[in-house]
Structure 1
Amino acid sequence: MRSVALEIAVQDAAGARIAFAAGADRVELCQALSATGGLTPSPGTVDAVSEAAGGGARVAVLVRPRPGGFVYDSEEVALVTSDIREVVRRGAGGVVVGAMALDGGVDMDAMRRWTDAADGAEVAFHRAIDVAADPVRVMDQLVELGAHRVLTSGGAVRSLDGFAVIASLIERSAGRVQVMPGGGVRVEDIARFVAAGADAVHLSARAASADVSPSGPGGGAAGFDVTDRAVVEAARAALDGALAGAA
């Protein structure tokens, strides 16, 4: 049977434990996901999630220094380089990064530095590809860089709406870079992505916490996101069903 990975975005060790118990193959670790789209987690969080995963091999860590666009100056590139080295030193199996040039293509110099810093750990290119002027050209650049996979919504808010672009990326990759749909993926979308040849699917599987502790101007909005076990379980079942049907 063909292998398609289920990746769940998590923000803490509790989320990682839930994701793996419910059938995830891998987690992407980040912080401030709903507010910013994800930022670099703390070293302590990397350690805690790696421990929850039984080791860092199934943990991909987002390394993104700030919210906003994906064009970085030299100081930011150096910071990400340092953070990548630290994440890999702590045992993470992969890093998730992305840098764009002003012309709408990949910042190849930044990505080469970051790939070198990963020192053999898997390198995934994140949804920076979704702002590219020509995503198919970006796929060629990722092949040149030796990237392991790319996370994409096909340039749409919801991945299913970017299905045609994702299918084109899968065709262009021809197995050289894994293509992983992500961004608004719902359980009912999974079978279609599997049929198109996706190598993995990515869900945030978020739910609002039941936190009722006081918050205020210095603490942001009340509550926070948690990983929803039921959503992960449903995604696992949908993925297994789609793979069985394709066998």
Structure 2
Amino acid sequence: MKKYQFEVCANSVESCLAAQTGGANRVELCAGIPEGGTTPSYGEISMAREILDTTRLHVIIRPRGGDFLYSPIEVKTMLKDIEIARKLGVDGVVFGCLTANGEIDSTAMQELMLASQGLSVTFHRAFDVCCNPKEALEQIIELGCNRILTSGQQATAEQGIPLLKELQEQAAGRIILLAGCGVNENNIARIAQETGIQEFHFSARESIISEMKYKNESVSMGGTVHINEYERNVTTARRVMDTIQAISL
């Protein structure tokens, strides 16, 4: 049987613990999930490191939501975050930088790669909005990244199967492709079978209703952006196990 690796996108220490209980090989700890993931706090990283013993801890290094064209001050911020993550004992970091033309920003990436020496590095889904994925794959390999998190430049990895298959063939074992976005217990086996990819990234979250008895739902903490602040999504061990079992049986 193929040796698969499972990474859970964890939005909290609670989700990290559920991922470990469910059998995940590693987590990618993120804050700001509605923005696609931003750098988590010192406290979150520190606590995650304390509770994870059988599951590896990777941390996203992304100073803000939005695009992946970073200013010099933002790159310096990312370098500081990598330094902090290293001191806290993480196993890997996750980042990606693009130029204004949608190409890999080799200059910024080289700086970040130098700061990340000794850590596992994943180039994240900035890859999915680059202008030439096949050329970008070669550049990322040359930079020395360990893996690329990608949905095949589609809204979900399942929709991106055709490109994922082509990229897996092009990579030819020189870099790991990590299929992510919309991966779940219902499609993981199909994605694996049709692409040949052996690493998968998923959230396995369920909605948890707030235990608040008093609620003032007329006030939004996001100002004009209204979300349900009395409900949150958390990774559950059950869904992690279900997803792993869907491909392992």
What count of residue pairs does the alignment treat as equivalent?
239
Amino acid in the other structure paired with 2:220: P
Q: Where does structure 2 lack aligned partners over 5 or more consecutive residues?
A: none
The alignment yields a C-alpha RMSD, in angstroms, of: 1.5
Identity within the alignment, %:
33
Q: Offset at 1:159? A: 0.9
Report the TM-score when normalising by structure 2: 0.91
Residues 172-218 of structure 1 deviation map (CA, whole Å, 9 limit, x = unaligned): 11111100110111212211232222130010112211214236333
Q: Offset at 1:117? A: 0.8
Q: Where does structure 1 lack aligned partners over 5 or more consecutive residues?
A: 242-247
Amino acid in the other structure paired with 1:236: I
Alignment-derived partner of residue 221 in structure 2: 218
Alignment of 1:28-43 (within 5 A): 28-33=28-33, 35-43=34-42
Amino acid in the other structure paired with 2:15: G
Alignment-derived partner of residue 11 in structure 1: 11
Q: Which has the higher helix share?
A: 1
The structure 1 segments of at least 4 consecutive aligned residues displaced by more than 2 Å after TM superposition are 192-196, 212-223
Instruction: Give the Cα separation in 1 of the matches to 2:26 and 2:74.
Output: 27
Instruction: Give the Cα separation in 2 of the matches to 1:181 and 1:62.
Output: 16
Q: Offset at 1:151? A: 0.5
Does structure 1 conserve the Cα–Cα contact (< 8 Å) formed by 2:209 and 2:230?
Answer: no
Report the TM-score when normalising by structure 1: 0.92
Amino acid in the other structure paired with 2:221: G
Alignment of 1:17-56 (within 5 A): 17-33=17-33, 35-54=34-53
Match of 1:187 among 185, 188, 191: 185
Residues 59-107 of structure 1 deviation map (CA, whole Å, 9 limit, x = unaligned): 1100100010011111111110110111011110000101111222110
Alignment partner of 2:40: what SS?
coil
Amino acid in the other structure paired with 1:228: T
Does structure 1 conserve the Cα–Cα contact (< 8 Å) formed by 2:157 and 2:191?
Answer: no
Does structure 2 conserve the Cα–Cα contact (< 8 Å) formed by 1:62 and 1:95?
Answer: yes
Alignment-derived partner of residue 146 in structure 1: 144
Instruction: Give the Cα separation in 1 of the matches to 2:99 and 2:37.
Output: 20
Does structure 2 conserve the Cα–Cα contact (< 8 Å) formed by 1:12 and 1:48?
Answer: no
Instruction: Give the Cα separation in 2 of the matches to 1:70 and 1:48.
Output: 28
Alignment partner of 1:9: what SS?
strand
